[in-house]
Amino acid sequence: MRESPASGKFPLKTVPRKHLLDSREMLRSLVLGGAWLLLWRLAVLMEYAPHASIWFPPAGLSFAAFLIMGLRAVPIIMLCSLIATFWVDDLYRMQQSWEQLAYTGVLFGAAHSLSYYCGAALLKQLIRSSFSDALPKIILSFLILGTLASLLGALAGTQVLAGSGLISSQEASAIWLPWWIGDMAGTLVLTPLFIGLLSWRYPLIEGWLGGLDFKQSDQSWYGFLSKLLLSTSLLTLTMLLAANFRYSEVSFAMFFLIIPQMWIVYTESPFRAALSLAIFSTLTAVWVSALSLMDFALVYQFAICVIAASAYFGLAVPVLVAHNKQLRELALSDSLTKVASRQHFFEQAEQEVARAKRYQQPISLLVFDIDRFKQINDQFGHTAGDNALVLVAEAIGKGLRQSDLLGRFGGDEFLLLLPATSLEKACETAERLRQALHAVKVENTRHFLSGSFGVVQLEADEDFQHAFERADAYLLKAKKAGRDQIYSNRPQAQN
């Protein structure tokens, strides 16, 4: 998942603006138009009532195209709508005049384009203004806007056909609902897949649907194909049962197929999940028409929509988990030096202190600070200062035991917790580290570092906060005494 570091917002990039007559742009439009008409013809094959297909893929393609290409997709989609209107006349032998068909086609194209353009433009706006933890919100918005755009498309489309006399007003009021559900199924199920495909054609388009990476997949195709085979076999079995018994109750078994789909969603890449949904819905439509299951078409349409909606929310889960992991890592470690953050150090230290008390083991704390660090920043710049802090953390971290905990309190001050370590051993460690700091050089300079240390062993009844305050006070004494020294309540440790 990628996000722009400056704003934390999704980097939804669209295809750079080019002249419509640009040859590559024309080729893209032609491919889009060809695919649109092919899908439209496929949908007509699967009509279960005139103008009502179980699932209408061109709606998903239009939504994806408007989302990716914006208004530049309008001419080709208008042209496709016009061709489709003439094709309808031919298929249904309506024998309208060409003027009438041209008028209807333009109106139909305008209604279709306006509906899906509005939905896509609103969604694009939302994605651009969303932060990376808003993925479920974006998915919900996609589902709502996809549903509303298809409702608007169905209402406007049926009204256009009725208004221009291609269908009667009774027919219009009878078909708007199945038209809507079919368009909705096409939009909800296929838009993400088409966006994934368009993202390949247009490499500039990065993550969509809240940063889902449609290209990434490190798993084998064999595993995916086996899951797909299982899912489609179960679908076929369900459809054959419905065709055999012809009870509506049997058709509801389709809803169980959400289980294999969710399995694919959770274990495969977003693109494969979208591909699987597309294959699943295509096969459903094919079986409905091949097995004459038109009476239960609405059940299947709703099942496709419900499975798709659940799948997209499912897709959000791995992204959210990765995001949470990232946030957790940020909270646990200091972003510059990668040692424990102050908060994490204190939390861990409390636990270690409790454990040491339970097992009556000694536990010691070192607090140390780089000497005259401000001068390094002032003399060599903040980048050199940052670099020096990283080198300090590396040098100190090298000689530690697995159980020791190194943290950054802030600025140039570090903390080191030494479980199962007495004050004497802790002072020896501090001495070793003090000398190790002498070997750390500010990069590209001749300036070597030194540090001052405060060391305490926790008293039996002392809490960590109090021990920290004592160690910090010793550190201050070491600074006042001239720096590059170790101070503790062990007099002989003092330099």
Please report, as ranges, the residues that interact with ligand GTP according to CB under 6 A: 336, 369-375, 377, 382, 385-386, 389, 411-412, 479, 483
**Tokens matching residue 152:** 């608007």
Q: How far is the CB of 393 from ligand GTP (least distance, A)?
A: 11
Q: How far is the CB of 382 from ligand GTP (least distance, A)?
A: 4
Q: Are 114 and 81 in contact (CB under 8 A)?
A: no
State CA 216 to chain mean position distance.
12
Q: How far apart are CA 65 and CA 63, in angstroms?
A: 6
Q: Which is nearer to ligand GTP, 278 or 416 (CB)?
A: 416
Q: Which is nearer to ligand GTP, 447 or 479 (CB)?
A: 479
DSSP string computed for 314-331: HHHHHHHHHHHHHHHHHH
Q: Is the dihedral of CA 140, 283, 241, 227 positive or negative?
A: negative
Q: How far is the CB of 453 from ligand GTP (least distance, A)?
A: 12
Q: How far is the CB of 464 from ligand GTP (least distance, A)?
A: 22
Q: Which is nearer to ligand GTP, 165 or 381 (CB)?
A: 381
- Check residue 333 and give left, alpha or beta (phi > 0: left; psi -120 to 50: alpha): beta
| Helices marked H in 203-332 | 221-245, 248-251, 258-267, 270-290, 297-332
Q: How far is the CB of 431 from ligand GTP (least distance, A)?
A: 19
Q: Are 221 and 13 in contact (CB under 8 A)?
A: no
Q: How far is the CB of 373 from ligand GTP (least distance, A)?
A: 3
**Tokens matching residue 169:** 């007003």
Angle between helices 135-163 and 57-69 (to 10 degrees): 120
Q: Which is nearer to ligand GTP, 175 or 376 (CB)?
A: 376
Q: Which is nearer to ligand GTP, 348 or 377 (CB)?
A: 377
Instruction: Note the maximum CA span of the chain.
Output: 108
Q: How far apart are CA 124 and CA 116, in angstroms?
A: 12
Q: List Cα–Cα distances, 290 to 46, 106, 420, in angstroms.
A: 9, 33, 75
C-beta atoms surrounding 393 within 10 Å: 20
Q: How far is the CB of 432 from ligand GTP (least distance, A)?
A: 20
Q: Which is nearer to ligand GTP, 317 or 384 (CB)?
A: 384
Q: How far apart are CA 453 and CA 474, in angstroms?
A: 7
Q: Which is nearer to ligand GTP, 363 or 389 (CB)?
A: 389
Q: How far is the CB of 377 from ligand GTP (least distance, A)?
A: 5
Q: Which is nearer to ligand GTP, 425 or 479 (CB)?
A: 479
Q: Which residue's Cβ lies closest to ligand GTP?
A: 385
Non-local CB neighbours of 186 within 8 Å, separated by 6+ positions: 43, 55, 56, 57, 58, 59, 60, 150
Q: Which is nearer to ligand GTP, 295 or 378 (CB)?
A: 378
Closest listed residue to residue 296, CA positions, set 380, 239, 334: 239
Q: How far is the CB of 197 from ligand GTP (least distance, A)?
A: 45
Q: How far is the CB of 408 from ligand GTP (least distance, A)?
A: 9
Q: Which is nearer to ligand GTP, 186 or 385 (CB)?
A: 385
3-state secondary structure of 187: helix
